[in-house]
Amino acid sequence: MQSKPVRPVLVVIAHGSRDPRHAATVHALVERVRSLRPGLRVETGFLDFNVPSVHGVLESLAAEGVRDVVALPLLLTRAFHAKADIPAVLREAPARLRIRQADVLGPSPLLVAALERRLYEAGLAPADKSSTGVVLASAGSTDPEAIAVIADIAREWWHTGWCAVRPAFASAGSPAGFPRTEDAVRELRALGCERVAVAPYVLAPGFLPDRIARGAAEADLLADVLGPAPEVARVLLERYDAAGQPALAALGA
């Protein structure tokens, strides 16, 4: 009887943080991914601050005899980490591993659904949508591609029925002229939205999400980070499937 081809191992690559809430949230998200696909082996590696490191995870897999890996950046936009840091780490992986780097998570309609889930969990009702202005608060970036993606998400989300949606950036390194969370909150107030909600477009707690929370002090509502929302877990599996198809084809799956 022919054995079933072994699916590539999914290695989720997280940034890492000194804030213990970050790693705890990443692990909760990975557990949800495992629950959605019980037969898939999922490992987690961190670029900095936390263990295990990405390099350590890849070394361990190679020592076990694993051949095929899908490395999935736990990132919402294609900026420096996705374009430079992660490829550099993967180039140092053991030669026996065949590694495919999956796309970052965003943009995706599922992530927008997760943002709305968090807003409704924080107290909004669907009936509040047309009278509510939303601040789409991201960590921020100097990468033009990443900035354009955030602006596009805000514009497309607004067209689904919100009073207004404004992007905001927590990082001090973001380009001049892009609003901070508190500035976007005031702009929506001035626009005449009946209420203002802040939706953090971030995956896990940490320094910049805390800055977003402070900037939301004048808002009516602050949603939680995306974290282990089921929609986020589904995006991870979509990215894994897309990246893993060549390996499965080679195995005859």
Give the pLDDT confidence of 223-247 residue by residue, as tens digits.
Answer: 999 999 999 999 999 999 999 986 5
pTM, full prediction: 0.93
pLDDT score at 177: 65
Determine the pLDDT at residue 79. Answer: 85
Percent of the chain with pLDDT over 90: 86
Separation CA 76–CA 240 (nearest Å): 15
Dump pLDDT digits (tens) for 9-55: 999 999 999 999 999 999 999 999 999 999 999 999 999 999 999 99
DSSP 192: T
pLDDT of residue 57: 98
Rounded to an integer, the average pLDDT of 129-147 is 93
Q: How large is the average pLDDT for residues 108-117?
A: 98
Residues 79-95: tens digit of each pLDDT:
888 898 999 999 999 99
Confidence of residue 140 (pLDDT cuts 50, 70, 90): confident
Give the count of beta carbons closer than 10 Å to the beta carbon of residue 199: 31
Please, what is the average pLDDT of the chain?
A: 93
**CB under 8 A, 24+ apart: contacts of 117-121:** 117/229, 117/231, 118/199, 118/200, 118/223, 118/224, 118/225, 118/226, 118/229, 119/197, 119/199, 119/221, 119/223, 121/223, 121/224
Q: Which of 99-103, 234-238, 249-253 has the lowest mean pLDDT?
A: 249-253
Per-residue confidence (pLDDT) for residue 228, from 0 to 100: 98
Phi, psi of 70 (to 5 degrees): -110, 115
